[in-house]
């Protein structure tokens, strides 16, 4: 069994303009998607991220009071899952509700360090 | 002042009903092993309600208000403890609690109406686990499912708060060590497990109904809660068993007479002197309805027979109309199911009514070697009655005095003292 990270990018603009009802409906999709993964043991963890942040460079000498990326590139959340292969992980990621909000999902395997 | 009292009573009633449900739902979220944490959340919600409602008035839907407060508190606790070992998040449903994507919705899922009903019953079965002693079962039910404070439980059991705390501690320890999961038992064991639950409800009811307590309010509360718990079982199809209806009937019949049993001054009124027009007709009706429903299937339990006996008393217009013959038949059946010396004693009283003192004495003599009964006040009280009828005044007085020595209840002591005086008057 391998571990994978889903890096979810973009969608912030659409998220902030969604109505309460729209948001509620959308979150129910997350509930269903993650619920299935929790039930079959695929899910490890996952969290949405705040838009604000700081970016540090040069050993922290250079601090920018916002995340590195912007717009479509901004990371909005992540998920950790375990499954057999990258292909299978990608198949699971296809159902990610964030696509409704124009997000991209990057699927990366956790790299074991020798 | 009076208005304040009714508000207080409404609240205490609401809190009693809702705190048990909240405990049950939270137990599903945090696990029964975290009962202290759970009780804190419920307590917090209740305190917050009291403080807020004092100024803003009771909200339109107080139940929803309480639940929302408890939910928010639960969310806080999960956010703070999601990386600690306190809560076991490994089950699929609980796993969704640690992600912000799903936390709020998952909490809402736990709080669905149908779910709450099942959780509450599941918690009842957990509290009445056969490995937990009966004393501990009722103590725990009163504390966790009926929202009694330790002090109130101590008061209703006439024992120290320390004793109650120890009992609660042992039960919690059992839950922790055995990882008890509250749920309604599967079909093949539901009858057996329900038996234990009914037993606990019955004991609880007797605790509240028995006249040994000075605090009337607490007693009434315990009786109400016993009725509430039994009714919760009847609201669920899986637990609509004949014996559950029978116990409900029995408790309804007894409850109908509750207020007539004690005068305002606190003296006991015997069945034959009770004003029957004061009996609660609604309760008797409800009892009869339940007794009818208890009749399906082939099950006859002691609850059926005790209910049938109580019903005979309830439907006699006057004491003189009591059908003692029928009652005796029920007692014989009762003893057939389960020989219980206390039932045997009560049967002697029926014989006294039906066949006279000599036959009653003959029956009673059969069990006079029973050392346990010799320490039981009712044995001596009945002996007193029999001797009185036989005009053996000296023996009658002696028996009543034994009964006075053995009973803990002030009201009963007073009653037997008045009986002694009656006999003394007779001698002149």
Nearest CB to A45 within list B93, B99, B105: B99
Q: Which residues of B touch A34 (CB under 8 A)?
A: 96, 99, 101-102
Q: Which residues of B touch A47 (CB under 8 A)?
A: 99-101
Q: In this predicted model, what pLDDT tens digit does every residue of B355-373 receive, in sequence order?
A: 999 999 999 988 877 777 8
Q: In this predicted model, what pLDDT tens digit does every residue of B385-416 receive, in sequence order?
A: 999 999 999 999 999 999 999 987 788 888 89
The two structure tokens encoding residue B144: 């966790």
For the cut 60, the answer to whether the pLDDT of residue B213 exceeds it is no
Q: Which residues of B touch A77 (CB under 8 A)?
A: 101
Residue B2: pLDDT band with limits 50, 70, 90: low
pLDDT at B3: 59
Q: Could you tell me which chain B residue has the CA closest to the CA of A35?
A: B96
Query: Percent of chain B, pLDDT > 90?
Result: 65
The two structure tokens encoding residue A46: 């996952």
Pick from B377, B425, B369, B422: nearest CA to B401: B377
> Exposed e or buried b for every residue in A52-63, given b needs 16+ CB within 10 A?
eeeeeeeeeeee
CA distance linking residue B52 with residue B362, whole number of Å: 66
Q: In this predicted model, what pLDDT tens digit does every residue of A51-110 receive, in sequence order?
A: 999 999 999 999 999 998 888 899 999 999 999 999 999 999 999 999 999 999 999 999
Residue pair B327/B350 in contact (Cβ under 8 Å)? The answer is yes
For the cut 70, the answer to whether the pLDDT of residue A13 exceeds it is yes
Chain B residues whose C-beta sits inside 8 Å of any chain A C-beta: 92-93, 95-96, 98-102, 104-106, 109
Pick from A43, A21, A22: nearest CA to A32: A43
Q: How many Å lie between the alpha carbon of B93 and the closest alpha carbon of chain A?
A: 7
Average pLDDT taken over every residue of chain B: 90
Residue B171 or residue B261, greater confidence: B171
Q: How many Å lie between the alpha carbon of B102 and the closest alpha carbon of chain A?
A: 5
Mutation target for B interface from A8, A23, A29, A31: give the one with most B CBs within 10 A: A31
Chain A residues whose C-beta sits inside 8 Å of any chain B C-beta: 27-28, 30-31, 34-35, 38-39, 41, 43, 45-48, 77
CA distance linking residue B385 with residue B361, whole number of Å: 10
Q: How many Å lie between the alpha carbon of A61 and the closest alpha carbon of chain B?
A: 32
pLDDT at B411: 81
Q: Which residues of A touch B107 (CB under 8 A)?
A: none
**Hey, are the CB atoms on A39 and B98 less than 8 Å from each other?**
no
Residue B221: pLDDT band with limits 50, 70, 90: confident
For the cut 60, the answer to whether the pLDDT of residue B211 exceeds it is no
Is the full-model pTM beyond 0.90?
A: no
Report DSSP state, residue A79. Answer: E
Pick from B99, A36, A95: nearest CA to A107: A95
Nearest CB to B96 within list A38, A47, A48: A38
Residue pair B30/B172 in contact (Cβ under 8 Å)? The answer is no
Residue B254: pLDDT band with limits 50, 70, 90: very high
For the cut 70, the answer to whether the pLDDT of residue B75 exceeds it is yes
> Exposed e or buried b for every residue in B380-393, given b needs 16+ CB within 10 A?
bbbbbbbbbeeebe
CA distance linking residue B111 with residue B104, whole number of Å: 11
pLDDT at B421: 94
Q: Could you tell me which chain A residue has the CA closest to the CA of B107?
A: A31
Pick from B42, B247, B73: nearest CA to B146: B42
pLDDT at B302: 95
Mean pLDDT across the stretch B341-364?
93
**Hey, are the CB atoms on B101 and A34 less than 8 Å from each other?**
yes
Residue pair A10/A76 in contact (Cβ under 8 Å)? The answer is yes
pLDDT at B212: 59
pLDDT at B354: 93
CA distance linking residue B246 with residue B254, whole number of Å: 12
| Upper half-sphere CA count for residue B273 (Cβ side, 13 Å) | 8
For the cut 90, the answer to whether the pLDDT of residue B69 exceeds it is yes
Task: Return the bridge partners of A56, or none.
Answer: A63
**Hey, are the CB atoms on B101 and A27 less than 8 Å from each other?**
yes
Nearest CB to A34 within list B99, B104, B109: B99
Report DSSP state, residue A6. Answer: E
Q: How many Å lie between the alpha carbon of B46 and the closest alpha carbon of chain A?
A: 29
pLDDT at B93: 85
pLDDT at B370: 77
pLDDT at B180: 86
CA distance linking residue B285 with residue B262, whole number of Å: 22
Mean pLDDT across the stretch B80-94?
89
> Does ipTM come in above 0.85?
yes
Residue B1: pLDDT band with limits 50, 70, 90: very low
Residue pair B280/B338 in contact (Cβ under 8 Å)? The answer is no
Q: Name the residue with tokens 């559950």.
A: B244
State how far the alpha carbon of B119 is from the alpha carbons of B26, B69, B148, B160, in Å. Answer: 9, 19, 19, 31
**Hey, are the CB atoms on A47 and B106 less than 8 Å from each other?**
no
Q: Could you tell me which chain B residue has the CA closest to the CA of A39?
A: B92
Q: In this predicted model, what pLDDT tens digit does every residue of B235-244 receive, in sequence order?
A: 999 999 999 9
Q: Which residues of B touch A43 (CB under 8 A)?
A: 95
Q: Could you tell me which chain A residue has the CA closest to the CA of B95?
A: A38
Exposed, middle or buried by CB within 10 Å (0-12, 13-18, 19+), for B306?
buried
The two structure tokens encoding residue B39: 């009780």
State how far the alpha carbon of B255 is from the alpha carbons of B75, B266, B267, B314, B368, in Å. Answer: 41, 17, 18, 11, 32
Q: Which residues of A touch B98 (CB under 8 A)?
A: 45
pLDDT at B70: 96
The two structure tokens encoding residue A88: 């299978």
The two structure tokens encoding residue B355: 């066949």
Q: Which residues of B touch A30 (CB under 8 A)?
A: 101-102, 105
Can you point out the beta strands (E) in A24-110? 43-48, 55-57, 62-64, 75-83, 104-109
């Amino acid at each position: 069994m391998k571990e994978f990270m889903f890096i979810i990018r973009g969608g912030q603009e659409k998220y902030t303009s969604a109505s309460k009802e729209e948001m509620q409906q959308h979150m129910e999709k997350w509930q269903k998607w993650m619920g299935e993964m929790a039930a079959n043991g695929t899910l490890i963890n996952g969290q949405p991220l705040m838009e604000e942040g700081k970016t540090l460079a040069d050993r922290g000498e250079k601090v920018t009071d916002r995340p590195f990326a912007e717009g479509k590139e901004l990371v909005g959340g992540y998920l950790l899952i375990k499954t057999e292969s990258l292909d299978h992980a990608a198949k699971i990621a296809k159902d990610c509700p964030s696509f409704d909000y124009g997000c991209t999902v990057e699927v990366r395997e956790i790299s074991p360090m020798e | 002042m009076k208005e304040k009292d009714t508000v207080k009573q409404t609240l205490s009633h609401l809190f009693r009903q809702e705190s048990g449900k909240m405990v049950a739902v939270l137990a599903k979220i945090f696990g029964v092993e975290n009962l202290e944490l759970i009780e804190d959340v419920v307590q917090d919600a209740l305190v917050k309600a009291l403080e807020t409602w004092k100024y803003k008035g009771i909200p339109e839907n107080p139940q929803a208000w309480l639940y929302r407060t408890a939910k928010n508190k639960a969310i806080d606790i999960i956010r703070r403890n999601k990386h600690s070992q306190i809560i076991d998040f490994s089950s699929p449903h609980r796993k969704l609690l640690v992600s912000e994507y799903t936390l709020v919705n998952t909490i809402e899922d736990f709080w669905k109406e149908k779910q709450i009903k099942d959780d509450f019953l599941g918690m009842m079965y957990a509290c009445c686990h056969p490995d937990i002693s009966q004393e501990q079962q009722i103590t725990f039910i009163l504390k966790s499912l009926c929202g009694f404070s330790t002090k109130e439980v101590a008061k209703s059991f006439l024992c120290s708060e320390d004793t109650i705390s120890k009992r609660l501690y042992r039960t919690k320890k059992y839950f922790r060590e055995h990882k008890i999961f509250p749920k309604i038992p599967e079909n093949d064991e539901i009858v057996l497990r329900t038996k234990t639950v009914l037993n606990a409800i019955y004991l609880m009811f007797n605790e509240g109904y028995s006249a040994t307590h000075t605090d009337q309010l607490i007693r009434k509360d315990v009786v109400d809660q016993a009725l509430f718990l039994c009714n919760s079982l009847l609201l669920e199809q899986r637990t609509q068993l004949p014996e559950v209806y029978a116990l409900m009937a029995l408790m309804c019949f007894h409850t109908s007479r509750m207020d007539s049993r004690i005068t305002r001054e606190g003296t006991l009124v015997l069945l034959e002197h009770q004003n029957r027009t004061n009996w609660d007709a609604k309760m008797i009706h409800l009892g009869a309805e339940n007794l009818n429903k208890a009749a399906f299937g082939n099950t006859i339990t002691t609850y059926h027979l005790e209910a049938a006996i109580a019903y005979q008393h309830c439907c006699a217009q006057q004491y003189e109309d009591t059908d003692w013959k029928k009652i005796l038949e029920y007692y014989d059946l009762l003893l057939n199911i389960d020989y219980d010396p206390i039932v045997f004693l009560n049967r002697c009283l029926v014989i006294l009514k039906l066949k006279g003192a000599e036959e009653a004495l003959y029956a009673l003599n059969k069990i006079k070697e029973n050392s346990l009964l010799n320490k039981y006040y009712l044995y001596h009280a009945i002996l007193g009655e029999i001797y009185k009828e036989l005009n053996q005044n000296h023996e009658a007085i002696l028996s009543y005095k034994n009964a006075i020595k053995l009973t803990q209840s002030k009201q009963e002591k007073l009653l037997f003292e008045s009986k002694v005086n009656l006999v003394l008057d007779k001698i002149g």
